[in-house]
């Protein structure tokens, strides 16, 4: 049981690392939002699942945190994306291709 929980924790931490790597490597803000949001959301969920297995007494609060993250993470990134779009931030195009917008 402990091993399964630890693997969940490790997977979650790895996903968070991928999210950070994503915002470091991606070429423009929209792609960074994509990489950052998805990976960090599942990362937190994995860590919550792992802790829930280790400490069954904490699960009500863990469920509350999970629901909260599942709601705020996409809303926050959509709000950011819309703000950048309205402020006129362009979408990155691969080099050699004409910007279409």
Partner 1 sequence: MLSTPAPASASPGAYVLGFCASLLTWVLLTGSLATDEVVLGIAVSLVVMFAAGQRLALLSGLRMTPLAPLHLLRYLGYFFGQLALSNFDVARRVVSPTLPIHPELVEVRTGLTSDLGRMLLANSITLTPGTLTVEAEDDRLLIHWIDSTPGSDLESATRAIAAGFEQRISGFLK
Partner 2 sequence: MILPDINLLEGFALLLLGCALMLGLFRLILGPAAPDRLVAADTLGVIATAGLILLAWLLGSALYLDVALVYGVLAFVGVVALARAIEGERT
Which spans of this chain sit near partner 1 (rule: CB under 8 A)?
A: 15, 18, 21-22, 25-28, 30-31, 33-35, 37-39, 41-42, 58, 60-61, 63-64, 71, 73-75, 77-79, 81-82, 85-86, 91-94, 100-101
Q: How far apart are CA 48 and CA 63, in angstroms?
A: 8
Task: Report the partner that residue 7 touches, choosing among partner 1, partner 2, none (CB closer than 5 to 8 A by kind).
Answer: partner 2
* Nearest distance in Å: CB 4, partner 1: 17
Is 70 in contact with 41 (CB distance < 8 Å)?
A: yes
Binds partner 2 by CB under 8 A, chosen from 62, 94, 98, 100: 62
Binds partner 2 by CB under 8 A, chosen from 63, 70, 72, 90: 72
Three-state SS annotation for 32-85? HHHHHHHHHHHHHHHHHHHHHHHCHHHHHHHHHHHHHHHHHHHHHHHHHHHHHH
């Amino acid at each position: 049981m402990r091993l399964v929980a630890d693997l969940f924790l490790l997977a979650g931490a790895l996903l968070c690392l991928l999210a950070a790597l994503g915002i470091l490597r991606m070429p423009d803000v929209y792609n960074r939002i994509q990489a950052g949001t998805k990976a960090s959301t599942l990362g937190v969920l994995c860590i919550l699942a792992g802790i829930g297995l280790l400490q069954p007494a904490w699960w009500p609060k863990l469920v509350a945190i999970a629901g909260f993250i599942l709601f705020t993470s996409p809303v926050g990134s959509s709000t950011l994306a819309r703000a950048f779009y309205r402020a006129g931030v362009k979408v990155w195009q691969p080099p050699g291709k004409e910007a279409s917008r």
